[in-house]
Amino acid sequence: MKVLVTGATGKVGTRFLKRFFEEEKFAHATARALCHNRLLEETSRLEVISGSISDRELVGKAVEGVTHVVHLATCKETPEQVMDVTVKGLFWLLEECRSNESFCQFVLIGGDAAMGHFFYPHPVPVTEGQEHSPYPGCYALSKVLEEVMLEQYYTQYDLNGCCLRAPWIMEKDDFKYSLSFGKDVFGGPVWRDLVSPEEASSYESTATIPVMLDPEGQPVKRNFVHVEDLVSAILLSIDNPKARQQLFNVCMDEPIDYRKAAQFLEETQGLPSVDVKTQYQSTWLDNAKAKFLLDWKPKIDLKQLIEKAWSYDRAKDDPRKIWYPG
Protein backbone atom coordinates (compact mmCIF):
# COMPACT_ATOMS: atom_id res chain seq x y z
CA MET A 1 0.00 0.00 0.00
CA LYS A 2 1.20 3.48 -0.92
CA VAL A 3 -1.01 6.43 0.05
CA LEU A 4 -0.86 9.87 -1.55
CA VAL A 5 -1.86 12.62 0.88
CA THR A 6 -2.65 16.08 -0.47
CA GLY A 7 -2.69 18.99 1.96
CA ALA A 8 -0.30 16.90 4.04
CA THR A 9 1.09 19.77 6.12
CA GLY A 10 -2.31 20.90 7.44
CA LYS A 11 -3.93 20.07 10.78
CA VAL A 12 -5.58 16.93 9.41
CA GLY A 13 -2.72 15.84 7.16
CA THR A 14 -0.04 15.94 9.84
CA ARG A 15 -2.20 14.05 12.34
CA PHE A 16 -3.23 11.51 9.70
CA LEU A 17 0.34 10.72 8.68
CA LYS A 18 1.47 10.34 12.30
CA ARG A 19 -1.30 7.88 13.14
CA PHE A 20 -1.13 6.12 9.77
CA PHE A 21 2.50 5.23 10.43
CA GLU A 22 1.64 4.13 13.99
CA GLU A 23 -1.22 1.81 12.96
CA GLU A 24 -0.24 -1.85 13.02
CA LYS A 25 -2.42 -2.73 10.02
CA PHE A 26 -0.47 -0.18 7.95
CA ALA A 27 2.94 -1.27 9.25
CA HIS A 28 4.21 -2.12 5.78
CA ALA A 29 2.59 0.82 4.00
CA THR A 30 4.32 3.94 2.74
CA ALA A 31 3.07 7.43 1.96
CA ARG A 32 3.73 10.24 -0.47
CA ALA A 33 2.95 13.79 0.66
CA LEU A 34 2.01 16.40 -1.92
CA CYS A 35 2.90 19.71 -0.25
CA HIS A 36 2.40 23.28 -1.39
CA ASN A 37 3.08 26.06 1.13
CA ARG A 38 5.29 24.06 3.48
CA LEU A 39 7.32 20.86 3.32
CA LEU A 40 7.58 17.76 5.49
CA GLU A 41 10.80 15.93 6.21
CA GLU A 42 11.24 12.76 4.19
CA THR A 43 11.71 9.43 5.98
CA SER A 44 12.11 5.82 4.95
CA ARG A 45 8.32 5.59 4.71
CA LEU A 46 7.47 9.11 3.55
CA GLU A 47 8.26 10.63 0.17
CA VAL A 48 7.62 14.36 -0.37
CA ILE A 49 6.63 16.13 -3.58
CA SER A 50 6.28 19.91 -3.74
CA GLY A 51 3.85 21.75 -6.01
CA SER A 52 0.22 22.54 -6.77
CA ILE A 53 -2.53 20.07 -7.57
CA SER A 54 -3.62 22.46 -10.32
CA ASP A 55 -0.54 21.27 -12.28
CA ARG A 56 -1.60 18.16 -14.18
CA GLU A 57 1.95 17.01 -14.92
CA LEU A 58 2.84 17.21 -11.23
CA VAL A 59 -0.36 15.41 -10.24
CA GLY A 60 0.50 12.63 -12.69
CA LYS A 61 3.86 12.14 -10.98
CA ALA A 62 2.24 12.29 -7.54
CA VAL A 63 -0.34 9.60 -8.37
CA GLU A 64 2.08 7.27 -10.18
CA GLY A 65 2.40 4.01 -8.27
CA VAL A 66 0.06 4.90 -5.40
CA THR A 67 -2.78 2.63 -4.30
CA HIS A 68 -4.81 5.12 -2.25
CA VAL A 69 -5.39 8.87 -2.24
CA VAL A 70 -6.44 10.87 0.83
CA HIS A 71 -7.42 14.26 -0.56
CA LEU A 72 -7.22 17.07 2.00
CA ALA A 73 -5.97 20.05 -0.03
CA THR A 74 -8.49 22.85 -0.51
CA CYS A 75 -8.99 26.62 -0.72
CA LYS A 76 -11.11 28.91 1.37
CA GLU A 77 -12.88 32.07 0.17
CA THR A 78 -10.36 32.83 -2.59
CA PRO A 79 -12.17 33.23 -5.93
CA GLU A 80 -8.92 33.70 -7.84
CA GLN A 81 -7.67 30.25 -6.73
CA VAL A 82 -10.64 28.06 -5.91
CA MET A 83 -11.42 26.78 -9.42
CA ASP A 84 -7.79 26.01 -10.21
CA VAL A 85 -6.96 24.34 -6.90
CA THR A 86 -10.17 22.84 -5.54
CA VAL A 87 -12.04 21.99 -8.72
CA LYS A 88 -9.40 21.49 -11.40
CA GLY A 89 -7.03 19.94 -8.87
CA LEU A 90 -9.60 17.30 -7.91
CA PHE A 91 -10.35 16.67 -11.58
CA TRP A 92 -6.67 16.02 -12.37
CA LEU A 93 -6.39 13.70 -9.37
CA LEU A 94 -9.43 11.67 -10.39
CA GLU A 95 -8.33 11.52 -14.02
CA GLU A 96 -4.91 10.20 -13.03
CA CYS A 97 -6.39 7.73 -10.54
CA ARG A 98 -8.78 6.14 -13.03
CA SER A 99 -5.94 5.49 -15.50
CA ASN A 100 -3.45 4.30 -12.88
CA GLU A 101 -3.19 0.49 -12.73
CA SER A 102 -2.10 0.48 -9.09
CA PHE A 103 -4.98 2.69 -7.88
CA CYS A 104 -7.47 1.19 -5.40
CA GLN A 105 -9.35 3.91 -3.49
CA PHE A 106 -9.94 7.67 -3.30
CA VAL A 107 -10.87 9.26 0.05
CA LEU A 108 -12.18 12.82 -0.15
CA ILE A 109 -12.56 15.01 2.91
CA GLY A 110 -15.57 17.22 2.21
CA GLY A 111 -17.25 19.89 4.27
CA ASP A 112 -20.65 20.78 5.70
CA ALA A 113 -20.42 24.08 3.84
CA ALA A 114 -22.03 22.06 1.02
CA MET A 115 -25.11 21.94 3.24
CA GLY A 116 -24.96 25.63 4.16
CA HIS A 117 -24.24 24.68 7.80
CA PHE A 118 -25.76 27.34 10.09
CA PHE A 119 -26.70 29.84 7.37
CA TYR A 120 -30.08 28.22 6.66
CA PRO A 121 -32.77 26.43 8.67
CA HIS A 122 -32.69 22.69 7.94
CA PRO A 123 -34.63 19.62 8.94
CA VAL A 124 -32.28 18.35 11.63
CA PRO A 125 -30.22 16.34 11.86
CA VAL A 126 -28.93 16.72 8.30
CA THR A 127 -28.52 13.32 6.65
CA GLU A 128 -26.39 12.34 3.69
CA GLY A 129 -29.55 12.15 1.57
CA GLN A 130 -30.53 15.80 1.86
CA GLU A 131 -30.00 18.07 -1.14
CA HIS A 132 -27.03 20.41 -1.27
CA SER A 133 -27.72 23.95 -0.05
CA PRO A 134 -24.41 25.85 0.04
CA TYR A 135 -24.28 29.31 1.53
CA PRO A 136 -23.19 32.20 -0.77
CA GLY A 137 -19.54 32.21 -1.75
CA CYS A 138 -17.00 30.18 -3.70
CA TYR A 139 -15.82 27.97 -0.82
CA ALA A 140 -19.24 26.43 -0.16
CA LEU A 141 -19.78 26.07 -3.90
CA SER A 142 -16.48 24.20 -4.19
CA LYS A 143 -17.57 21.73 -1.50
CA VAL A 144 -20.66 20.88 -3.57
CA LEU A 145 -18.63 20.54 -6.76
CA GLU A 146 -16.19 18.18 -5.03
CA GLU A 147 -18.94 15.83 -3.88
CA VAL A 148 -20.73 15.89 -7.23
CA MET A 149 -17.55 15.32 -9.22
CA LEU A 150 -16.60 12.30 -7.12
CA GLU A 151 -20.11 10.88 -7.49
CA GLN A 152 -19.88 11.28 -11.26
CA TYR A 153 -16.66 9.26 -11.30
CA TYR A 154 -18.55 6.48 -9.50
CA THR A 155 -21.21 6.59 -12.22
CA GLN A 156 -19.00 7.04 -15.27
CA TYR A 157 -15.99 4.91 -14.31
CA ASP A 158 -17.08 2.84 -11.28
CA LEU A 159 -14.27 4.49 -9.31
CA ASN A 160 -13.83 3.21 -5.76
CA GLY A 161 -14.03 6.19 -3.44
CA CYS A 162 -15.78 7.74 -0.48
CA CYS A 163 -16.37 11.19 0.94
CA LEU A 164 -16.15 12.06 4.62
CA ARG A 165 -18.17 15.26 5.09
CA ALA A 166 -16.82 17.14 8.10
CA PRO A 167 -17.98 20.29 9.90
CA TRP A 168 -15.56 22.76 11.51
CA ILE A 169 -12.44 20.79 12.47
CA MET A 170 -11.04 21.59 15.91
CA GLU A 171 -7.58 21.03 17.37
CA LYS A 172 -5.39 22.48 20.12
CA ASP A 173 -6.93 25.80 21.37
CA ASP A 174 -9.06 26.44 18.27
CA PHE A 175 -12.34 26.28 20.14
CA LYS A 176 -11.16 28.73 22.79
CA TYR A 177 -10.32 31.35 20.20
CA SER A 178 -13.50 30.71 18.23
CA LEU A 179 -15.22 32.30 21.26
CA SER A 180 -13.00 35.38 21.49
CA PHE A 181 -14.24 38.96 21.23
CA GLY A 182 -10.69 39.99 20.37
CA LYS A 183 -8.97 40.42 17.02
CA ASP A 184 -7.42 37.01 17.66
CA VAL A 185 -10.79 35.32 17.01
CA PHE A 186 -10.45 32.06 15.10
CA GLY A 187 -12.97 31.57 12.31
CA GLY A 188 -16.45 33.00 12.35
CA PRO A 189 -18.49 34.77 13.29
CA VAL A 190 -16.28 37.72 14.19
CA TRP A 191 -17.94 38.45 17.51
CA ARG A 192 -16.60 41.99 17.94
CA ASP A 193 -18.41 42.99 14.74
CA LEU A 194 -21.75 41.98 16.28
CA VAL A 195 -21.52 44.35 19.26
CA SER A 196 -20.40 47.94 19.78
CA PRO A 197 -16.65 48.72 19.93
CA GLU A 198 -16.99 49.60 23.62
CA GLU A 199 -18.74 46.31 24.37
CA ALA A 200 -16.18 44.35 22.35
CA SER A 201 -13.30 45.85 24.35
CA SER A 202 -15.05 45.15 27.64
CA TYR A 203 -15.90 41.56 26.71
CA GLU A 204 -12.38 40.93 25.47
CA SER A 205 -10.84 42.20 28.72
CA THR A 206 -13.02 39.87 30.81
CA ALA A 207 -12.76 36.87 28.44
CA THR A 208 -16.56 36.92 28.15
CA ILE A 209 -18.03 33.98 26.25
CA PRO A 210 -20.53 34.79 23.47
CA VAL A 211 -23.76 32.80 23.40
CA MET A 212 -24.94 32.73 19.80
CA LEU A 213 -28.70 33.19 19.47
CA ASP A 214 -30.84 32.54 16.40
CA PRO A 215 -33.37 35.11 15.08
CA GLU A 216 -35.95 33.73 17.53
CA GLY A 217 -33.63 34.28 20.49
CA GLN A 218 -32.84 30.60 21.02
CA PRO A 219 -29.27 29.33 21.59
CA VAL A 220 -27.72 28.06 18.36
CA LYS A 221 -26.57 24.45 18.12
CA ARG A 222 -23.71 23.88 15.70
CA ASN A 223 -21.56 20.99 14.53
CA PHE A 224 -17.86 20.48 15.18
CA VAL A 225 -15.48 17.55 14.96
CA HIS A 226 -12.13 17.09 16.67
CA VAL A 227 -9.23 16.39 14.33
CA GLU A 228 -8.42 13.12 16.10
CA ASP A 229 -11.97 11.83 15.56
CA LEU A 230 -11.85 12.77 11.89
CA VAL A 231 -8.51 11.02 11.46
CA SER A 232 -9.98 7.91 13.08
CA ALA A 233 -12.75 7.93 10.48
CA ILE A 234 -10.24 8.30 7.64
CA LEU A 235 -8.18 5.37 8.90
CA LEU A 236 -11.29 3.21 9.20
CA SER A 237 -12.40 4.07 5.66
CA ILE A 238 -9.14 3.02 4.00
CA ASP A 239 -9.52 -0.37 2.30
CA ASN A 240 -12.95 -0.77 3.90
CA PRO A 241 -15.37 -2.38 1.40
CA LYS A 242 -18.31 -0.84 3.29
CA ALA A 243 -16.98 2.62 2.39
CA ARG A 244 -17.15 1.99 -1.36
CA GLN A 245 -18.86 4.91 -3.15
CA GLN A 246 -20.36 6.19 0.09
CA LEU A 247 -20.85 9.64 1.61
CA PHE A 248 -20.46 9.88 5.38
CA ASN A 249 -21.20 12.70 7.82
CA VAL A 250 -18.35 12.74 10.33
CA CYS A 251 -19.04 14.89 13.38
CA MET A 252 -19.51 14.91 17.15
CA ASP A 253 -22.41 12.86 18.50
CA GLU A 254 -24.11 16.00 19.82
CA PRO A 255 -23.93 19.51 18.36
CA ILE A 256 -22.37 22.24 20.46
CA ASP A 257 -25.08 24.25 22.22
CA TYR A 258 -23.59 27.71 22.77
CA ARG A 259 -25.60 28.14 25.99
CA LYS A 260 -24.36 24.84 27.42
CA ALA A 261 -20.79 25.68 26.40
CA ALA A 262 -21.03 29.01 28.25
CA GLN A 263 -22.50 27.34 31.33
CA PHE A 264 -19.71 24.76 31.43
CA LEU A 265 -17.07 27.49 31.05
CA GLU A 266 -18.66 29.45 33.89
CA GLU A 267 -18.57 26.33 36.09
CA THR A 268 -15.01 25.31 35.22
CA GLN A 269 -13.24 28.57 34.33
CA GLY A 270 -15.37 31.19 36.07
CA LEU A 271 -15.96 33.00 32.78
CA PRO A 272 -18.92 35.33 32.22
CA SER A 273 -21.10 35.12 29.11
CA VAL A 274 -23.30 37.38 27.04
CA ASP A 275 -26.11 36.67 24.57
CA VAL A 276 -25.40 37.74 20.99
CA LYS A 277 -28.33 37.69 18.59
CA THR A 278 -27.45 36.63 15.03
CA GLN A 279 -29.09 35.57 11.78
CA TYR A 280 -27.66 32.06 12.14
CA GLN A 281 -29.72 28.89 12.56
CA SER A 282 -29.24 25.70 14.55
CA THR A 283 -28.18 22.82 12.34
CA TRP A 284 -26.15 19.68 12.73
CA LEU A 285 -25.21 16.51 10.88
CA ASP A 286 -26.41 12.95 11.49
CA ASN A 287 -23.36 10.69 11.92
CA ALA A 288 -25.30 7.40 12.28
CA LYS A 289 -24.24 6.07 8.88
CA ALA A 290 -20.51 6.43 9.63
CA LYS A 291 -20.98 4.78 13.01
CA PHE A 292 -22.90 1.87 11.50
CA LEU A 293 -20.88 1.16 8.34
CA LEU A 294 -17.39 2.19 9.47
CA ASP A 295 -17.78 1.10 13.10
CA TRP A 296 -16.60 4.59 13.99
CA LYS A 297 -17.45 6.58 17.10
CA PRO A 298 -16.25 10.07 18.02
CA LYS A 299 -14.54 10.33 21.39
CA ILE A 300 -14.42 14.10 21.95
CA ASP A 301 -17.59 15.68 23.38
CA LEU A 302 -18.32 19.26 24.48
CA LYS A 303 -16.60 18.99 27.85
CA GLN A 304 -13.49 17.35 26.43
CA LEU A 305 -13.32 19.88 23.60
CA ILE A 306 -13.38 22.72 26.12
CA GLU A 307 -10.90 21.07 28.48
CA LYS A 308 -8.44 20.44 25.66
CA ALA A 309 -8.75 23.99 24.30
CA TRP A 310 -8.37 25.78 27.65
CA SER A 311 -5.47 23.61 28.84
CA TYR A 312 -3.47 23.89 25.63
CA ASP A 313 -0.29 25.98 25.80
CA ARG A 314 0.54 27.09 22.27
CA ALA A 315 4.22 27.47 21.44
CA LYS A 316 5.48 30.72 19.92
CA ASP A 317 6.57 28.87 16.77
CA ASP A 318 3.09 27.34 16.33
CA PRO A 319 0.94 30.14 14.89
CA ARG A 320 -2.82 29.71 14.68
CA LYS A 321 -2.80 29.90 10.91
CA ILE A 322 -4.57 27.87 8.24
CA TRP A 323 -2.46 27.56 5.11
CA TYR A 324 -4.48 27.80 1.90
CA PRO A 325 -4.28 26.49 -0.69
CA GLY A 326 -3.08 23.27 0.90
Give residue limits of the domains in the chain.
Answer: 2-170+223-255+283-299, 174-220+256-277
Q: Does domain 2-170+223-255+283-299 have CATH number 1.20.970.10?
A: no
pLDDT surpassing 90 at residue 212: yes
Q: Kind and range of the H or E element at 274?
A: strand 273-277
pLDDT surpassing 50 at residue 249: yes
Q: Where are the beta strands (DSSP E) in 100-178?
A: 105-111, 161-166, 168-170
Give the pLDDT confidence score for residue 319 in this predicted structure. 73
Q: Kind and range of the H or E element at 6?
A: strand 2-6
All residues at 6 or more sequence positions from 43 whose CB lies less than 8 Å from its CB, including other chains? none
Give the pLDDT confidence score for residue 73 in this predicted structure. 92
Give the pLDDT confidence score for residue 29 in this predicted structure. 98
Length of the chain, in residues = 326
d(CA 140, CA 75): 10
Strand partners, 297: none
d(CA 78, CA 130): 27
* pTM, 2 dp: 0.95
All residues at 6 or more sequence positions from 216 whose CB lies less than 8 Å from its CB, including other chains? none
Q: Residue 322's pLDDT band (boundaries 50, 70, 90)?
A: low
114-128 tens-digit pLDDT: 998 899 888 899 999
Q: Where are the beta strands (DSSP E) in 214-272?
A: 221-222, 224-226, 246-249, 256-257
Q: Are 89 and 4 in contact, with CB atoms under 8 Å apart? A: no
d(CA 316, CA 30): 32
Give the pLDDT confidence score for residue 326 in this predicted structure. 43
